[in-house]
Amino acid sequence: MPTFNDFLSTLKKDLLEFAKANLNEHKDELLKDGNAFIEKTKADLKRWTDGLVSGALSQKDFEFLVKGKKDLAQMEALKQIGLSKIRINKIVDGVLGIVIGSAVKTFL
């Protein structure tokens, strides 16, 4: 007869596998998005500074674009917060599924 401790062991093992698979995937996605944004910002600032020096951009244009980048960063951050919520929802659903699955595996 399986005991509750058997159930806990199965649950821990299943949760660990689930966490490994999900967290690695999300960590990679986040790092990729963050790095891409930083690289693009660096390239944009270089081009805008060159434009300011050459006169292709006025000081007002330059200020607008830099502040626009800040606004864009806020929008990007909101997107990441939203996507994190979606991921957490999926993970919570997955965890609930694992708890039920482990109980069924152990006791039935």
Query: By CB under 8 A, is residue 49 in contact with other proteins?
Result: no
Q: Of these, 32, 47, 49, 100, which contacts other proteins (CB under 8 A)?
A: 47
* Residue 59 beta carbon to other proteins: minimum distance, rounded to whole angstroms: 11
List 19, 26, 44, 94, residue binding other proteins (CB under 8 A): 44
Give the separation between CA 93 and CA 95, rounded to whole angstroms: 6
Contacts of other proteins in 66-105 (CB under 8 A): 67-72, 74-76, 78-79, 81-83, 85-86, 88-90, 92
Q: Please, how many CA atoms are within 13 Å of residue 82, restricted to the half-sphere of its CB?
A: 6
For every residue of the chain, DSSP letters joined together read ---HHHHHHHHHHHHHHHHHHHHHHHHHHHHHHHHHHHHHHHHHHHHHHHHHHHTSS-HHHHHHHHHHHHHHHHHHHHHHHHHHHHHHHHHHHHHHHHHHHHHHHHH-
Toward other proteins, which CB reaches closer, 69 or 105? 69
Which spans of this chain sit near other proteins (rule: CB under 8 A)? Answer: 1, 4, 40, 44, 47-48, 51, 56-58, 61, 64-65, 67-72, 74-76, 78-79, 81-83, 85-86, 88-90, 92, 107-108
